[in-house]
Amino acid sequence: MKNIRVSSVQFEHIAGDKKANLAKIEHFVRLAAGHGVELIVFPEACITGYLFLRKLSRKELEDLAEPVFDGPSSQALMALAKEYKMTIGAGLVEIAEDGKMYNTYVVAMPNGEFQRHRKIHCFISEHLSCGSEFTVFDSPYDCRLAVLTCYDNNLGENVRISALKGAEILLAPHQTGGCKTPSPGCMGVIEKSLWQNRKANPQAIEAELKGPKGRQWLLTWLPARAHDNGLFLIFSNGVGIDGDEIRTGNAMILDPYGRILKETWKADDDLIVADLDATLRTNCTGVRWIKTRRPDLYKPLTVRTGLEEDIRRVRFGDNI
């Protein structure tokens, strides 16, 4: 791995308006190019919009979905990647040749190559399928990148497998925070009026974004994913209105020790930039821990316990 300048973006998407969302992506790519950024990460499903997908019929989703990589949104990302010599990641709804649809994250690289990650734990719609592959690949920066989308990052096994496949930088696009949850003291709904009044009273909404509904919740687990696996981690998230919820932003870039290199809790679209020092991975804690694994003891990790449930039912109960 070499040193690399990276960026994470948070922005408020417009549900179903791919043209407007791609225009925001182009704006931030141009801005990042002025800072010398080589790799930029946008949120999950930011091209199509996210939470409103839950209410769409199969036909409506098919009308919104696109092929990857030949579809117009993928091609728009590639045009930007080549023009600005930057690797760009952004999310959308994909329709595959067999008619299956996925919550997909597209990575366009300036050398003309594409990668995609189909969200492994997809629950937003019964019409979207879950992916079944880990996405770890070589980049133009002499390093291996991985992608895990939102809930994929919650399960430590997914991040560890990505690290075992050689990942050095994890792209972690999300639409999270401000969510309804049964867990006490964990996330929770944010009043829309606080977001709508953010210009007049920024302190009120920023307190929510930094509190247990946003940043505090992230800090209970996100740094551990980077630290335990010796990875740089680029967390990108939606911010603002997403259906009937308020996303909490908190774009964040972490080093392999789980330390925050750069972050924002701005109640608005925002971009952060950080330089990744490749030497930090040299024998860092996570790398050392991986070297001392005892795989012969880990067979129980591959055996069903009988407690497994469909991800959609775990998230939404009977309202699916």
Q: What is the pLDDT of residue 96?
A: 98
> Which structural domains are found in the chain, ordered by start?
4-316 (3.60.110.10)
Distance CA(113)–CA(132), nearest Å, equals: 21
For the chain, what is the mean pLDDT?
Answer: 96
Of 135, 210, 218, 207, whose CA–CA distance to 176 is shortest? 218
Q: What is the mean pLDDT of residues 59-75?
A: 98
CA atoms within 13 A on the CB side of 41: 31
Taking phi first (over 0 means left), then psi (-120 to 50 degrees means alpha), and beta for anything else, what does residue 250 get? left
pLDDT at 67 > cutoff 80: yes
Buried b (16+ CB within 10 A) or exposed e, 42-59: bbbbbbbbbbbbbebeee
Q: Tell me which of 123-127, 180-184, 198-202 is least confident.
A: 180-184
pLDDT at 318 > cutoff 50: no
The structure tokens listed for 291 are: 């070297």
Q: What is the mean pLDDT of residues 113-136?
A: 97
pTM for the full predicted model: 0.96
Q: What is the pLDDT of residue 230?
A: 98
pLDDT at 209 > cutoff 70: yes
Q: What is the pLDDT of residue 316?
A: 62
More confident residue, 306 or 315: 306
Of 105, 104, 68, whose CA–CA distance to 90 is shortest? 105
Of 121, 60, 68, whose CA–CA distance to 91 is shortest? 68
> pLDDT exceeding 70 applies to what percent of the chain?
98
Which residues contact residue 97 at a Cβ distance below 8 angstroms, ignoring those fewer than 6 apart?
Answer: 67
Distance CA(27)–CA(17), nearest Å, equals: 16
End-to-end CA distance of the chain: 43
Which residues contact residue 282 at a Cβ distance below 8 angstroms, ignoring those fewer than 6 apart?
Answer: none
Which residues contact residue 288 at a Cβ distance below 8 angstroms, ignoring those fewer than 6 apart?
Answer: 230
